[in-house]
Structure 1
């Protein structure tokens, strides 16, 4: 099996996320043994951001690092685990809210559209929007 980064590359729908991980300097973190759980916005999710927002984030490494780190939780948290918890601590330092009902899972306001993409050092759950830490929301 591949690590989280290689798995995301192979999926082909996370080009913007991988670029953000690279620019923010978190590639080595998500290639390390972990394990980590990544709530991975697709390229379509990033496309929902206003273009100027995305451009400004890609040029502000510190803010970008906070946002990328907010999508990474500690541990190998599978879908059956998500159904049992109501929050997950991220490597950014704050928590994301997990809500699960009728077979659907939400992370904050994002819908989890695909679960349990397994990698050597964790798991990827695909989400349909970019998560913003509360401290950066509205900036």
Structure 2
């Protein structure tokens, strides 16, 4: 049976499908543990050092380590590098803490929104787009396109979910390839 499953996964991958496994995926070269919280897992991801530094600078460590549940759309270092030159350095300055907090909390939903739950909301909507209000009070929308989950912010920016459903003890993380920008 194990060999059959491996063959089916191999066949699916060769046709461009995405395999789904019960275990948490690796993120940034590190295992993600369901019994650890968002912060405890994020600090181990080599792909999220900028996000972790920003969370620390904004004073959000205790919040994101709290009971939640939270859904975090976690931009990679590469996503932060796509911002205009100097943006990250400016946001990390103490005098810009409020702005940094708003940007970061615009990536967070209250609740445990797995990809399956988000897709169910998309299917329910007439325009095939699910709408959410972030912890910052800003709007995010989600849509399925070409077999991928895409997140849209109020500013018209779009982020692709590259790794979905990284379970945490206090919620779920979805890795995204762009920074979402609130208005």
TM-score, normalising length: structure 2: 0.70
Q: Structure 1: any 5+ residue segments left out of the alignment?
A: 135-139
SS at match of 2:44: helix
Q: Distance in 2 between matches of 1:118 and 1:77?
A: 10
Shift of 1:94: 1.7
Aligned residues: 134
> Of Structure 1 and Structure 2, which has the larger fraction of its residues in strand?
1
Q: Distance in 1 between matches of 2:149 and 2:90?
A: 30
Q: Distance in 2 between matches of 1:21 and 1:34?
A: 16
Q: Structure 2: any 5+ residue segments left out of the alignment?
A: 1-34, 122-129, 153-157
Alignment of 1:89-128 (within 5 A): 89-108=133-152, 109-128=158-177
Shift of 1:51: 2.6
Higher RCO, 1 vs 2 (CA within 8 Å, ≥6 residues apart): 1
Shift of 1:123: 0.4
2:49 to 15, 25, 30: 15
Runs of 4 or more, structure 1, over 3 Å off, are none
TM-score, normalising length: structure 1: 0.92
Could you tell me which residue of structure 2 aligns to residue 133 of structure 1? 182
Contact 1:111–1:128 (Cα < 8 Å) also in 2 = yes
SS at match of 1:22: helix
Shift of 1:89: 1.8
Could you tell me which residue of structure 1 aligns to residue 66 of structure 2? 32
